[in-house]
Structure 1
Amino acid sequence: MAFRRRNKSYPFFSQEFLIQNHADIVFSLVIFILIGLMFETTAKTAILFIQPQYNISTMSADGEVTLYLYGWKDCATVLFYLCITIILHAVVQEYVLDKVNRRLHLSKSKNTKFNESGQLCVFYLVSSLWSLYVIATEGYLLHPSSLWENYPHVHLRYIHTQTQSMHLMKTEEIPRQLQYISLYLLHILAAYLLNLTRVGLVLLFLQYLSEMGFHLSRLFYFIDENHHKMFEMWSIGFVLTRMITLTLMFLAVGFGLARSENQTLDLEVGNFNTLSIRLLVLFVVCFTQSWLLWKFFRFQLSRTRELRLEQVARKRVAAKQQMQRTLKRDSVGYYENGLIKAENGTSPRLKKIKAP
């Protein structure tokens, strides 16, 4: 199965070869794992890549509920779903974005940004819908207190969300986005390891909505450069997302978990509800949100300054052109009935010229 037409072949196992054929290589690996499920001797190993292993079955009012703890075997599950995401990335690029690029005829730099925003827009859309489905089915919207009650929290679908978020390393330019990749992984793994999956899921949903708005605005801008209002709407949503994130973290971690009866460190149970850990979590979140707001306002101020300089430059050019027209009229004169006359009217001779 080939995802892309190749005009040039590279030596095997070279960097160019791996970049060009990474989707086919990953697809072959996934097929190899799925074939392993068909044989009894390899099924136990193959199932490690597909299904989380640390499950706990509990009884509730709705029946038996299966929850999941975490362990080192989850690395295989994360790797498998990361491969699935890479395959979907190649499918979207080949059958959607490349066809749109052929019609838009964008420059090379805009083409790269368009592909980046297109990939991330699809990723954030799917992740937002998935997160919203989990939040609605688990009742986090109607019962916000469930975000900190019955701590520690574990859930299967947060693992899937984590594996998709790690695919940011494939879709972004790593040198330019290394800071954001590190922040994503830091916060996701912290919520995963500290069993704060409910709060982490809600925060990821808010972050995905904000990021989707930005990349969607950039897509519309590349299609038609007159679309600027969507960036203004995204700016408002970005600030609101930061405020809601801080409020939710202080409500859940600062007040909710602080009132919990069990505030002792227990690694076996997965209880990390201690004062020092809560303060550390709040500090990291506050620092990250403050840093994002600082970069946002700095960019907006620099952008406003650039727009003002452009307006001043346009006014200077317009004034200079108007002055040149005035000087030309004063020195040459003006036309009247096909005759050129001096501006002061002192010239007694009128020269017949061809009307312009």
Structure 2
Amino acid sequence: MGMPRKKQKHPPVMSHEFVIQNHADILACVAIVIVLGLISEATSKLSKPFIFLQYGVTDETEEEPENPDAPVPFPKEFGRGILDIFAVFFQALMIAVVHAVIQEYGVDKVSKKLHLSKTKNSKFSESCQLLVWCVGSAGWGIHLLLQNKFISNIALLWEDYPHSVMSWENKLFMLIQMAYWFHMYPELYFQKARKEDIPARIQYYTLHLIFITGAYILNFWRIAIVIATLHYIAEGVFHGCRIAYFAEKNEVSSVGFSVWRILFPVARTFILALSFLMFWFGLGRAENQGIDFATGNFNSFFIRMICLSAICLLQAWLMWPFIQLQIRRSKEEKLVKKKTAALAMVKPKSTKKNQKKSEVDNDVGNGVTTRSGKVKKH
């Protein structure tokens, strides 16, 4: 008879390990409770801000329905307000659940096959999650750019400002962007991030959250969608190459990193150019200068310069490690060339030793060596 299998020890309820292992189920239950609130009229008012987009704008030109009991049509355009915080919270719950599913059924299974170290495994998991996010956001962003005709007409980025009203899809994109970077803070706890990696990740998440939230509050969401799309394209290529590198797909990673070295500075250049067009020329020449909270107008010189300076500093902060990497890489290539040149100069000096060695090898090939090392002729 075989030895009885030991029962797996489950962590105690409400302990740290229990919460980490079952955080997806816990968050899913919270989301289900919010959705079930729609069943009762008493709780539906509390659940609606979490689930549905708020501040819908009705078209005054549309005729009122003859039947007063007819369902109210879904608004096509929306404003913004404080109740959007509840939608961001609910979307963050759902993103955390999806994050856990991708990690458990995709990333963890692949990383086990690769047998990576703890450091590489942490970076591999981070790149896998960010690759999924960057590809999805870049694809959605390109769709919105084509739908809003921002590519064919760049002037739409600043014309008719303030853009206090947006379509439901544009608003949902901005809210989900904020929800994703907000949910990344508790993910540091859920994914057991290493202490030395936490400061850099918090800085990375905070910058994304500040810029997206600031653009949403100040009604600069149009330029935010363009900048985010360009940024996610470059970031997606980088994380895809890093995944290939950890998977030891050297040919794919080398080609991908070559593409990324061109794409990264090009994306930064386009972002700077669009920002100058938007905040210096476009809004600078607009008639409605000043701050008006009622209409959502923040087209003042002070705010424009803060936004432009922040974008420029962010691009410089992103470019500095990239420039350092390229300088380090060029130095390494020069050292390799010097070493190969030095080896080429040393080889002619050792020709006599090689001749003697070849003579001994010929002797060994023609005869049989004894234990004393001498060669016996046949």
For Structure 1 versus Structure 2, the TM-score category normalised by the shorter chain is 0.7 to 0.9
* In structure 2, C-alpha distance between the alignment counterparts of 1:326 and 1:176, rounded to whole Å: 57
Matched ranges for 1:247-286 at <5 A: 247-286=273-312
Where does residue 160 of structure 1 map in the other structure?
Answer: 176
Where does residue 131 of structure 1 map in the other structure?
Answer: 141
Higher relative contact order (CA 8 A, sep 6+): 2
Q: Indicate conservation of the 8 Å contact 2:31/2:93, yes or no.
A: yes
Q: Indicate conservation of the 8 Å contact 2:288/2:299, yes or no.
A: yes
* In structure 1, C-alpha distance between the alignment counterparts of 2:8 and 2:355, rounded to whole Å: 61
Unmatched tracts of structure 1, length 5 or more: 1-5, 342-349
Matched residue type, 2:246: F
Q: Alignment partner of 1:335: what SS?
A: helix
* In structure 2, C-alpha distance between the alignment counterparts of 1:7 and 1:180, rounded to whole Å: 38
**Residues 238 and 339 of structure 1: CA distance in aligned 2, closer, same or farther (over 3 Å):** closer
Where does residue 51 of structure 2 map in the other structure?
Answer: 50
The reply to whether residue 37 of structure 1 matches residue 38 of structure 2 is yes
Q: Indicate conservation of the 8 Å contact 1:55/1:67, yes or no.
A: yes
Where does residue 88 of structure 2 map in the other structure?
Answer: 78
**Residues 332 and 96 of structure 1: CA distance in aligned 2, closer, same or farther (over 3 Å):** closer
Q: Alignment partner of 2:277: what SS?
A: helix
1:288-322, CA deviations, whole angstroms, 9 ceiling, x for partnerless residues? 11121122101221233345446656777898899
* In structure 1, C-alpha distance between the alignment counterparts of 2:125 and 2:75, rounded to whole Å: 41
Pairwise CA distance, 1:69: 2.4
Q: Please, which of 247, 250, 254 is the counterpart of residue 225 of structure 1? A: 250
Where does residue 290 of structure 1 map in the other structure?
Answer: 316
**Residues 59 and 7 of structure 1: CA distance in aligned 2, closer, same or farther (over 3 Å):** farther
**Residues 41 and 284 of structure 1: CA distance in aligned 2, closer, same or farther (over 3 Å):** same
Matched residue type, 1:221: Y
**Residues 128 and 339 of structure 1: CA distance in aligned 2, closer, same or farther (over 3 Å):** closer
**Residues 79 and 89 of structure 1: CA distance in aligned 2, closer, same or farther (over 3 Å):** same
Pairwise CA distance, 1:331: 8.7
* In structure 2, C-alpha distance between the alignment counterparts of 1:210 and 1:135, rounded to whole Å: 17
1:40-76, CA deviations, whole angstroms, 9 ceiling, x for partnerless residues? 2111101111123222224699x99633222221111
Q: Indicate conservation of the 8 Å contact 2:366/2:377, yes or no.
A: no
Percent identity over paired residues? 35
Pairwise CA distance, 1:202: 0.8
Aligned residues: 341
**Residues 50 and 323 of structure 1: CA distance in aligned 2, closer, same or farther (over 3 Å):** farther
**Residues 44 and 312 of structure 1: CA distance in aligned 2, closer, same or farther (over 3 Å):** same
Q: Alignment partner of 1:272: what SS?
A: strand
**Residues 198 and 99 of structure 1: CA distance in aligned 2, closer, same or farther (over 3 Å):** same
Pairwise CA distance, 1:106: 3.0
Pairwise CA distance, 1:196: 0.3
* In structure 2, C-alpha distance between the alignment counterparts of 1:308 and 1:98, rounded to whole Å: 39
**Residues 40 and 317 of structure 1: CA distance in aligned 2, closer, same or farther (over 3 Å):** farther
Where does residue 3 of structure 1 map in the other structure?
Answer: none
Q: Alignment partner of 2:361: what SS?
A: strand
1:7-48, CA deviations, whole angstroms, 9 ceiling, x for partnerless residues? 653333333332222211111111111111122211110111
* In structure 2, C-alpha distance between the alignment counterparts of 1:60 and 1:129, rounded to whole Å: 34
* In structure 1, C-alpha distance between the alignment counterparts of 2:130 and 2:175, rounded to whole Å: 19
Pairwise CA distance, 1:324: 8.5
Q: Please, which of 103, 120, 125 is the counterpart of residue 115 of structure 1? A: 125
Pairwise CA distance, 1:332: 11
Pairwise CA distance, 1:206: 0.7
Where does residue 347 of structure 1 map in the other structure?
Answer: none
* In structure 1, C-alpha distance between the alignment counterparts of 2:109 and 2:237, rounded to whole Å: 23
Where does residue 27 of structure 1 map in the other structure?
Answer: 28
Unmatched tracts of structure 2, length 5 or more: 1-6, 63-72, 368-372
* In structure 2, C-alpha distance between the alignment counterparts of 1:143 and 1:32, rounded to whole Å: 45
* In structure 2, C-alpha distance between the alignment counterparts of 1:11 and 1:221, rounded to whole Å: 39
1:87-141, CA deviations, whole angstroms, 9 ceiling, x for partnerless residues? 1111111222223224333333322222111111111111111222222112212
Q: Indicate conservation of the 8 Å contact 1:266/1:272, yes or no.
A: yes
Where does residue 336 of structure 1 map in the other structure?
Answer: 362
Q: Alignment partner of 1:191: what SS?
A: helix
* In structure 2, C-alpha distance between the alignment counterparts of 1:269 and 1:339, rounded to whole Å: 95
Q: Indicate conservation of the 8 Å contact 1:339/1:353, yes or no.
A: no
* In structure 2, C-alpha distance between the alignment counterparts of 1:151 and 1:268, rounded to whole Å: 14
Matched ranges for 1:79-228 at <5 A: 79-153=89-163, 154-155=165-166, 156-157=171-172, 158-169=174-185, 170=187, 173-223=197-247, 224-226=249-251, 227-228=253-254
